[in-house]
């Protein structure tokens, strides 16, 4: 009943607050326009019917939204008064608060960008001062004021709830989703805004021969949009990330940020995206370079074509390369500052094996394509092909090899160094990677074998062997050779892991035998197992931390095993732990 009541109250309040925000913002926009119109000559003459229509619409939204939100939010506040601890700890209340903060934060991000864009339009001369005051600024400014007021209110309310009741479990997870989602949106705006701005500045500074750039209104508007994205993204990302980093530095309290799995998910997602985007752009440059070396007659044309995108490519490589380096440094520093929990390590392993899979696929595809092209040239030297056939193919496949090999080896070799720890080589991510590698290579061998047999049977049944059949057979043989090499390598890795697992089992069995032999028999210097109680002494920093640990122990131990807690003075605990004699 309590859960249903919370779902109803907070759900209706969440829907009503957006009606209220849009209504108030619309009325405030009409008010701003009226003030500006009274002070300045109007640019547009608005009829009384349009004004009445807008006021009626926004007034209806405000009235219905206000009444609905006040009633249901008031009921929620009364519930907090009756039972402050349980209500403030409620996951549904946390979902409402952080839902308003994340949706409101996205709205504020969009409106801040609009306002900055309009301000830059005045600076660059694309928007006149009168037009700015009358038509451009009123809408984003009205929404910023109204949404900002409600956003700050809910932010302070969530902060008071955290001070009154420590935020653990689902509540802390929802807070992190809010913070890291806003940080991600801000970071992407910052990165793409910066890279796009750099690309445009490079294009203006080094214009291509024979191309006339429009350096007037269009360029000013374009630059204003990119600068607006840069500044807005920097503001949003720096605010969310600074708050999260400050939480990470705390070493006391419940549900510490340094123990958060979601923080690792955010960091490794940003790192994976930055690496992928940087490598993709580097690969484009390498492809043009290799193709120009192999086809000297087209070098000028190729570089002329590439120059159109060279500024974009270099800007993206620099911007996302810096993001890659920064987040890699953050991960290294935080790993040294705080011990890595198993779930956090699992996220790191998933990231590492995911990158390794992508790199291995690129490397394998490039290697098999290169072998097939070279074999085709050796086996059929006089067969005519399309112009620059082998140069184009080798340019593509060489790029895949050069890019894919380090992308595969760098994370793979680091992961291989960790297999000395049993928990690392027994991880689910490693098993999935190995079985995926074995499965894909075996399926490749089966597919190429079936294709080869199909071609041979066609010839045996009277079909004419053609030059294309030879090319297809060489491609199949190349793919099978590369798949066989990768299969043999990963099979050796799998067998090595299995051998280490057997050694672990033997060591565990030997240790269990040793302990059993060393344990005193019941009735000879030690009580029987049925009368033995295991005491676990925990020196928790706070009572909340001890309560949270007890809840985790209760959830972890098998059913039927009681978990009891007793608070003792330090001296008494030391006496109980003192060995006999």
Confirm if 331 and 271 have CB atoms less than 8 A apart.
Answer: yes
| pLDDT computed for residue 526 by the predictor | 46
| pLDDT computed for residue 68 by the predictor | 95
| pLDDT computed for residue 126 by the predictor | 64
- Write the DSSP symbol of residue 209: T
| pLDDT computed for residue 560 by the predictor | 60
| pLDDT computed for residue 280 by the predictor | 85
The residue with greater pLDDT, 258 or 182, is: 182
Residue 487 to residues 46, 137, 408, 442, 495: CA-CA distances in angstroms? Answer: 74, 63, 15, 7, 12
| pLDDT computed for residue 530 by the predictor | 47
| pLDDT computed for residue 581 by the predictor | 47
- Write the DSSP symbol of residue 463: P
Residue 254: what are its φ and ψ, rounded to 5°?
A: -95, 150
| pLDDT computed for residue 134 by the predictor | 56
* Each residue's pLDDT tens digit, 135-175: 567 888 899 999 999 999 999 999 998 888 888 888 888 99
pLDDT (average), residues 65-84: 91
Q: How far apart are CA 201 and CA 448, in angstroms?
A: 50
The residue with greater pLDDT, 483 or 348, is: 483
Residue 522 has pLDDT above 60, yes or no: no
> What count of Cα atoms within 13 Å lies in the side-chain half-sphere of residue 568?
16
Q: How far apart are CA 27 and CA 29, in angstroms?
A: 5
Q: How far apart are CA 513 and CA 428, in angstroms?
A: 29
Burial bucket for residue 119 (CB in 10 Å: 0-12, 13-18, 19+): middle
Kindly report each contact of residues 124-129 with a partner whose C-beta sits within 8 Å and lies 24 or more positions away, as own/partner.
124/220, 124/221, 124/223, 124/224, 125/220, 126/217, 126/220, 126/221, 126/224
Quote the percentage of the chain above a pLDDT of 90: 34
* Each residue's pLDDT tens digit, 449-495: 999 999 888 888 888 887 778 888 889 999 999 999 999 999 999 99
Residue 551 to residues 214, 558, 564: CA-CA distances in angstroms? Answer: 66, 13, 11
Q: How far apart are CA 130 and CA 151, in angstroms?
A: 31
Residue 412 has pLDDT above 80, yes or no: yes
| pLDDT computed for residue 543 by the predictor | 61
**Average pLDDT of the chain?**
82
Residue 571 has pLDDT above 90, yes or no: no
Q: Which two tokens stand for residue 123?
A: 């600076």
Residue 54 has pLDDT above 70, yes or no: yes
Residue 528 has pLDDT above 50, yes or no: no
| Overall pTM surpassing 0.85 (yes/no) | no
* Each residue's pLDDT tens digit, 140-149: 889 999 999 9
The residue with greater pLDDT, 505 or 1, is: 505
Q: How far apart are CA 511 and CA 57, in angstroms?
A: 77
Q: How far apart are CA 219 and CA 204, in angstroms?
A: 9
């Amino acid at each position: 009943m309590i859960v249903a009541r919370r779902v109803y109250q907070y759900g209706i309040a969440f829907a009503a607050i957006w009606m209220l925000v849009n209504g108030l913002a619309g009325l405030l926009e009409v008010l701003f326009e009226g003030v500006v119109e009274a002070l300045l000559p109007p640019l547009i003459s608005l009829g009384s019917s349009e004004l009445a229509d807008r006021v009626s619409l926004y007034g209806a939204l405000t009235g219905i939204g206000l009444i609905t939100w006040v009633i249901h939010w008031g009921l929620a506040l009364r519930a907090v008064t009756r039972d402050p601890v349980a209500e403030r700890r409620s996951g549904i209340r946390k979902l409402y608060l952080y839902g308003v903060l994340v949706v409101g934060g996205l709205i504020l991000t969009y409106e801040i960008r609009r306002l900055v864009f309009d301000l830059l339009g005045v600076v660059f001369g694309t928007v006149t001062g009168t037009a700015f005051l009358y038509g451009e600024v009123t809408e984003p400014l009205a929404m910023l004021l109204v949404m900002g007021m409600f956003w700050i209110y809910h932010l302070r309310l969530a902060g008071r709830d955290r001070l009154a009741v420590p935020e653990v479990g689902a509540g802390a997870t929802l807070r992190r989703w809010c913070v890291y989602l806003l940080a991600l949106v801000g970071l992407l705006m910052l990165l793409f805004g910066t890279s796009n701005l750099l690309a445009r500045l490079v294009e203006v500074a080094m214009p291509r021969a024979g191309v006339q750039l429009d350096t007037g209104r269009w360029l000013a508007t374009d630059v204003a949009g990119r600068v607006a994205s840069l500044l807005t993204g920097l503001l949003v990302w720096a605010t969310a990330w600074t708050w999260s980093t400050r939480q990470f530095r705390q070493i006391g309290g419940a549900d510490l940020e340094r123990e958060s799995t979601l923080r690792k998910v955010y960091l490794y997602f940003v790192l994976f995206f930055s690496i992928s985007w940087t490598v993709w752009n580097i690969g484009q440059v390498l492809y043009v370079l290799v193709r120009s070396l192999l086809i000297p007659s087209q070098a000028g044309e190729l570089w002329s074509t590439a120059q159109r995108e060279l500024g974009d490519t270099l800007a993206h490589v620099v911007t996302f390369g810096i993001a890659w380096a920064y987040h890699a440094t953050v991960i290294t520093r935080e790993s040294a500052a705080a011990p890595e929990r198993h779930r956090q390590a699992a996220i790191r392993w998933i990231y590492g094996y995911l990158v390794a899979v992508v790199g291995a696929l690129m490397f394998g595809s490039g290697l098999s394509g290169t072998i097939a092209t070279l074999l085709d040239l050796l086996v059929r030297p006089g067969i005519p092909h399309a112009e620059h056939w082998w140069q184009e193919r080798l340019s593509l496949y060489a790029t895949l090899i050069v890019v894919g090999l380090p992308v595969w080896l760098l994370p793979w070799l680091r992961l291989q160094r960790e297999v000395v720890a049993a928990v690392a080589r027994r991880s689910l991510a490693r098993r999935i990677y190995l079985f995926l590698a074995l499965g894909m290579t075996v399926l490749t061998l089966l597919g190429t074998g079936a294709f080869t047999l199909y071609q041979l049977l066609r010839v045996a049944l009277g079909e004419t062997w053609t030059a294309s059949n030879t090319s297809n057979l060489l491609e199949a043989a190349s793919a099978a050779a590369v798949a066989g090499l990768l299969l043999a390598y990963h099979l050796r890795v799998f067998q090595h892991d299995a051998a280490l697992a057997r050694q672990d089992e033997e060591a565990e069995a030997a240790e269990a035998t040793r302990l059993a032999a060393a344990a005193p028999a019941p009735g000879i210097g030690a009580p029987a197992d049925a009368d033995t109680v295991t005491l676990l002494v925990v020196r928790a920093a706070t009572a909340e931390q001890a309560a949270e640990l007890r809840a985790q122990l209760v959830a972890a131990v098998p059913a039927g095993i009681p978990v009891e807690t007793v608070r003792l003075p330090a001296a008494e605990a030391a006496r109980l732990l003192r060995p006999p004699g």
